Structure 1
Amino acid sequence: MLTALKVRLYPNKEQQAALAQNLGCCRFVWNYYLNKSNTQCQETGKGLSYCDMTKDLTQLKKQEEFLWLKDASSSALQQSLKNLEAAFKNFFEHRAKFPKFKSRHKKQSLRYPAGCSIKGNGIQLPKLGIVKAVISKNISGKIKSVTVSKDSTDKYFAAILFEVEDNSTNKEGKISGIDLGLNSLVTVFDGENTYKVDPIKPTRKYAKRLRRRQKSLSRKKLGSNNRKKQVKKVAKVHQKITNTRQDFRPNLSHQLVGENQAVVVENMSVKGLARTNLAKSILDAGFGMLVNFLGYKLKRVGGILVEVDRFFRSTKLCNCCKYKNDSLTLKDREWVCPKCQTHHDRDENAAKKCDSFSQNREIGGRLAVSSNQ
């Protein structure tokens, strides 16, 4: 089984210069062959394959004006061509947009498919030597690849893909129903108790700081050093928002996975909700990412993620008598069942209905519902 670990890198000045050269070479190769493939496609109706691009790259490196490409890792350049071929394939199979040209002013990355290892407190990278890193856990399996990235605030990271033994067994624990929302990010019912977790809303939290720095950026002269400095200040606010999200969602999913054998959650159409007037709050909540985290973490420990159909009326159905309240609106956070007179909290009732949905389909202690893993 493959797993990944992202770590922070601290290259010295010489390694930073070498990384900049490697990143520039990979970016040039991507842009050069993207342009060449587009031109050939317009002329002949057929683009370049990976084999065609690799053969051409070998000849290109021999030309006098492109000798500097030899200073970069050849495996990293070839991996850039593989990524380009995969991008074209994803486009033609309608899984992604058409490949774009890469810019030096945005986030940059390159992948080393071989020749990487852990050496003490650092990572051995081709043509760079040992780069100092902060590695949070022991990596004992075989390293398949290392992806080095540089963000807009000039910080370096490495995503290490390595093999681990698949020790997953049938996990034992509770079965919890979860309702996702904006007032309460998750409402959890485990069959006995109900609790809520409030959203962190990092975009709104740092909106004032971001607005001030963007205003200051708009007053800076194009191409000036002050503008370049202000661009980094704006990027740091965006990074703060990203870091807040990346710290919160993994921790919440880890807590839910540790407590439960199975988690039942509504299969939401995030793209559809993002087209409404609640788009900012929906995207800030990150429902899709949270469900993805729950899926792979439960699979890793032998648990199950069950996604209830999005048209299942978990909110309008009374969890006691199954009465359907069609008069319920989005503004009604609490309601009383006209049939059994039970007082309901909207989110808690939806979480209980999700839990009962799973209990009705449980066979031999395991859920006989297809899970999205």
Structure 2
Amino acid sequence: MLDSLKVRLYPNKEQQTALAKSFGCCRFVWNYYLEKTNNQYKETGKGLSYCDMAKDLTQLKKQPDYLFLKEVTAAALQQSLKNLESAFKNFFQKRARFPKFKSKHKKQSIRYPESCSIKGNGVKLPKLGVVKARIPKAISGKIKSVTVSKTSTDKYFAAILFETDDLILDKTGKISGIDLGLTNLVTVFDGETYTKVDPIKPTRKYAKRLKRRQQALSRKVKGSNNRKEQVKRVAKVHEKIANTRQDFLHKLSRKLVDENVETRHGASVLVVENLCVKGLARTKLAKSVLDAGFGMLINFLNYKLAHRRRKVN
């Protein structure tokens, strides 16, 4: 089976420059072929497949105005085309919205589908060499891909996808039920006792700080350096909110797994209430529902239980 690990990267100045070029080239390829596909669909009623775009990209890189594309590893550009094709498939199968043009002012990412490895305290990437990283645990399986991202607060991360030993679900044991709510984030019942955990509400906790920084942003002149710096200050508050919520849900999901599964006679199945988060997000409770992070909690429970040969229903 496949597993993933997200680590913090610390590239030097040369590597930051190389990553900026890679982000820019992959963003350009995405936007260029998104526009080209849209135009062809309007004219012929049929878009471009990955093979069509890849062939055209090979010829595009030979043109004088687009020689800068050769500075980036070809596999990363091809992966950008594959992602675009997947985005169109998800749209036509009604699993996602229509693909949008990418902006250099938002989160940047690039995926390396091959030639990546762990070297000491760093991650070796094509045309970048070894990038210093904080790796919390050893990766013994084969690395399938590495996705490097840069946040709006200028932090670099790498999501490493690697192979690990297959796990078999053990269907023995009792069942624990989890009820999700806003007053009590989770209520766990194992057939004998109830356990309740309150939400931390990070959006409301940092609401005043966010309001002050957004007010300061509104007073800055558009296009000025002061405004750019204030945008980063606002982004840091959003990042703090997201990190606080994620940290709490990680610890909560670990606690739920340990207390309800890891005992000798623990539950092999956790039954979680099925909520329509998208529907609730359109009600007057939208802010509280999104702040609670129900979907994120279920995702965390899913993969942590899978590692313990258990599952969520």
Fold agreement, TM-score > 0.5: yes
Name the TM-score, length of structure 1 as normaliser: 0.80
Choose 70-79 or 163-172, whichever is displaced more: 163-172
Is contact 1:174-1:259 (8 Å) kept? Answer: no
What corresponds to 2:41 in structure 1?
41
Correspondence 1:188-337 to 2 at 5 A: 188-260=188-260, 261=267, 262-306=269-313
Name the TM-score, length of structure 2 as normaliser: 0.95
Which string of whole-angstrom CA distances, capped at 9 and with x for unpartnered residues, describes residues 125-145 of structure 1?
000000000011110000000
> 1:140 & 1:149 partners in 2: Cα distance?
23
Correspondence 1:54-203 to 2 at 5 A: 54-170=54-170, 175-203=175-203
- State the structure with more CA Rg: 1
> 1:34 & 1:106 partners in 2: Cα distance?
18
What corresponds to 2:17 in structure 1?
17
Which string of whole-angstrom CA distances, capped at 9 and with x for unpartnered residues, describes residues 153-180 of structure 1?
0100000000000144527665322221
Deviation at 1:296, TM superposition (A): 2.8
Is contact 2:169-2:306 (8 Å) kept? Answer: no
What corresponds to 1:6 in structure 2?
6
> Aligned to 2:21, what secondary structure does the other structure show?
helix
Is contact 2:167-2:306 (8 Å) kept? Answer: no
Which string of whole-angstrom CA distances, capped at 9 and with x for unpartnered residues, describes residues 29-60 of structure 1?
00001111111111111111111111111111
Unaligned runs of 5+ in 1: 307-373
Is contact 2:169-2:311 (8 Å) kept? Answer: no
> 1:9 & 1:292 partners in 2: Cα distance?
24
Q: Are the structure 2 counterparts of residues 26 and 283 from structure 1 closer, same or farther at C-alpha, using a change threshold of 3 Å?
A: same
Q: Partner letter of residue 283 of structure 2?
A: T
Deviation at 1:242, TM superposition (A): 0.6
Q: Which protein, 1 or 2, shows the higher relative CO under an 8 Å CA cutoff with sep ≥ 6?
A: 2
Q: Partner letter of residue 108 of structure 1?
A: Q
> Aligned to 1:250, what secondary structure does the other structure show?
helix
Unaligned runs of 5+ in 2: 261-266
> 1:265 & 1:143 partners in 2: Cα distance?
32
What is the aligned-residue identity percentage? 74
Q: Partner letter of residue 245 of structure 1?
A: R
> Aligned to 2:94, what secondary structure does the other structure show?
coil
Q: Partner letter of residue 166 of structure 1?
A: D
> 1:153 & 1:121 partners in 2: Cα distance?
23
> 2:190 & 2:45 partners in 1: Cα distance?
58
Is contact 2:188-2:195 (8 Å) kept? Answer: yes
Deviation at 1:273, TM superposition (A): 1.3
Consecutive aligned runs of 4 or more in structure 1 exceeding 6 Å deviation? none
Q: Partner letter of residue 286 of structure 2?
A: A
> Aligned to 2:98, what secondary structure does the other structure show?
coil
Q: Partner letter of residue 291 of structure 1?
A: I
> 1:299 & 1:123 partners in 2: Cα distance?
26
> 2:276 & 2:167 partners in 1: Cα distance?
33
Q: Partner letter of residue 287 of structure 1?
A: F
> Aligned to 1:96, what secondary structure does the other structure show?
coil
Q: Are the structure 2 counterparts of residues 279 and 210 from structure 1 closer, same or farther at C-alpha, using a change threshold of 3 Å?
A: same
Q: Partner letter of residue 208 of structure 2?
A: K
Across the aligned residues of Structure 1 and Structure 2, the Cα RMSD in angstroms comes to 1.2
Deviation at 1:192, TM superposition (A): 2.4
Is contact 1:153-1:236 (8 Å) kept? Answer: yes
Choose 7-16 or 267-276, whichever is displaced more: 267-276
Is contact 1:111-1:147 (8 Å) kept? Answer: yes
- For this pair of structures, how many residues does the alignment match? 306
> Aligned to 2:272, what secondary structure does the other structure show?
strand
